[in-house]
Chain A
Amino acid sequence: MIRIQPEDFDAGAEIARLNASTDVGAVATFTGHVRADDGLIALTLEHYPAMTEREIARHVAEAEERWPLLGVTIIHRVGRLVPGDRIVFVGVASSHRQAAFEACEFLMDYLKIHAPFWKQEERAGATRWVEAKSADEKAARRW
Chain B
Amino acid sequence: MNLLYFAWVRQKTGRAEEKFELPDDIATVRELAEHLRERGGGYGEAFAELARLRAAVNQEHVSFDAPVTSEDEVAFFPPVTGG
Chain A residues in the interface with B (C-beta under 8 A)? 32, 45-48, 50-51, 54-55, 76, 87-88, 108, 111-120, 129-132, 136
How many Å lie between the Cα of A111 and that of B79 in the bound state? 12
| B: contact size bracket | 10 to 19
* Interface residue B41 (Cβ < 8 Å from any Cβ of A): no
Q: Which residues of B contact A119 (CB under 8 A)?
A: 81-82
- B8 with A48: CB separation less than 8 A: no
Chain B residues in the interface with A (C-beta under 8 A)? 4, 6-8, 56, 59-61, 73, 75, 77-83
Q: Which residues of A contact B80 (CB under 8 A)?
A: 112-118, 132
> Can you list 9 A-B pairs with a CB-CB distance of less than 8 A?
A48-B6, A88-B82, A111-B82, A112-B83, A114-B61, A114-B80, A116-B6, A116-B80, A117-B80
- B59 with A48: CB separation less than 8 A: yes
- A45 with B82: CB separation less than 8 A: yes
Partner of A46, one of B7, B60, B73: B7
How many Å lie between the Cα of A118 and that of B11 in the bound state? 13
- A118 with B77: CB separation less than 8 A: yes
How many Å lie between the Cα of A116 and that of B82 in the bound state? 7
Q: Which residues of A contact B61 (CB under 8 A)?
A: 55, 114
